[in-house]
Structure 1
């Protein structure tokens, strides 16, 4: 990502003729340096997993841009035509900036949305072209007369379509209408107003609406996918924490049980039925031993209950933390959507 930004900065500086003349060698070395980085990236990705690399459309696009960038290095540039071709090819280096799309998922969602709108956009453009064709024929017969009309803008079908394109984009339509008014064609205002109402306010805005709706749907799907991935990640982390705690408790119990068993075994090995036992300072009895063992059982039961309560508390805290994170992420997404719409 940093390499792409620096490459874009250097290409922008290279457009200054004086700066390019003074630092021509530096710019050439910098371009070769960036090409080396892009080539290493390409080779490493292909080497790691070639099948997955060529299935990704963004990777294929990056490879095409890389091949186009190599063309000026191998062209001799001897004659003027070759120099012109090389200048055109070098201009395509600016497409390297589009490599940023493969690093930002939000831009990928927008690109997917634009491609999905192609079908609807083609239908809208087809209807708009039919409308322009009809109005172009009408305009040609009404305003294209070489003697009394405006042949420069309405003299043939091509000129009429180009004029209608200016009207549908509302670019300089007042000048076009003024030319017709100067020729005394005041009724042409009805023609112009009707076409602008239909072409611009209906079809043109319909085109924009289709694109915006598809972008909104794709953005919503993208947000849902991101939310699902984050929820899955949080659930996985929560299960990992619980499993780790269970393993720690299990190991602790096993270690304590093992030590106690080992201690009893050593004690049994050291006892003999012929050993003397001094009872003078020994404060114990059978009833005390019974009470002590019962107390140990109650202690084990209490420890198990505390362990269960601890696990339940961890689950509750994890759910609360997950809800807080989800709320913060939704708030951040809403703020970003508001900024994008603004």
Structure 2
């Protein structure tokens, strides 16, 4: 069996279940499922158009139900092939929940759950290896991103208190309270109309306010946000390294197995 996306091999029990597991996770079935996910995404988008639904609504609903049926069969075959070990893979659990949501009745007060059908499109994340690597990188980077986020919160708080004290009386719309200052700083961090909308009108009254904005932008928009990028890149590199280590261990295990067979053959010939 090929290694699972999360790095853990889910080996079926053996016999026909092993053959079933290899077939359902084979390249052909995976490509077929990816194609169905893309078609399903297009169908869900077309269902938002009243004119399209008036013309071919019955066909789209039937196709949507048929695709859902294929997804259910795929998940069922994996459950049969792997048994309880199916749930050891986080990606398998994700697929199970996404498909399971589609089976929840959507009539009456639960009609709002119809919108959750679009979550089936997210199955591409578990089927496309490159997308899996991106998601796994983000998950692995969460601890480091949490500490970086705490640093960013401290920077926001310090500058918000300073901004409220310095500019609150002259510019109450932007700096009249701690909440207003935090929102203004968030707009400045995104670099969205901060110069024409906030900084330059304030500089007409107090030309020195650039000394407040420039350090904040350097710290928040360039230094801290680049730390987020660096953490994600490091996590991605570690995932690639783990995959290479796994392949190396599997290759060594195969070489040891071949070496053991050769020794047994040599012993038998003697």
Alignment TM class, shorter chain as reference: 0.7 to 0.9
The alpha-carbon deviation at position 123 of structure 1 amounts to 0.2
Q: Tell me the equivalent position of 1:112.
A: 136
Q: Tell me the equivalent position of 1:319.
A: none
Does residue 141 of structure 1 match 2:174?
no
Q: Tell me the equivalent position of 1:180.
A: 202
CA RMSD of aligned residues (A): 2.8
Specify which of 231, 234, 246 is matched with residue 213 of structure 1: 234
The alpha-carbon deviation at position 228 of structure 1 amounts to 5.3
CA distance in 1, matches of 2:147, 2:73: 43
Q: TM-score when scaled to structure 1?
A: 0.60
8 Å contact from structure 1 (residues 110, 218) kept in 2: no
Structure (1 or 2) with the larger CA radius of gyration: 1
Q: Tell me the equivalent position of 1:103.
A: 127
Kindly provide the CA deviation profile for residues 122-158 of structure 1, in whole angstroms up to 9, marking residues without a partner as x: 000001001101111111122222xx32x22222222
Q: Tell me the equivalent position of 2:78.
A: 45
- Residues 166-315 of structure 1 aligned to structure 2 (within 5 Å): 166-174=187-195, 175-182=197-204, 184-226=205-247, 229=250, 235=255
8 Å contact from structure 1 (residues 139, 160) kept in 2: yes
CA distance in 2, matches of 1:20, 1:152: 47
The alpha-carbon deviation at position 227 of structure 1 amounts to 5.6
Q: TM-score when scaled to structure 2?
A: 0.74
Unaligned 5+ runs, structure 1? 251-342
SS in 2 for 1:49: helix
C-alpha distance 35-125 of structure 1, shift in aligned 2 (>3 A): same
Specify which of 60, 64, 69 is matched with residue 31 of structure 1: 64
Kindly provide the CA deviation profile for residues 51-95 of structure 1, in whole angstroms up to 9, marking residues without a partner as x: 111222112112221222223xx2334xxxx4xx634x2332222
Specify which of 71, 76, 83 is matched with residue 107 of structure 2: 76
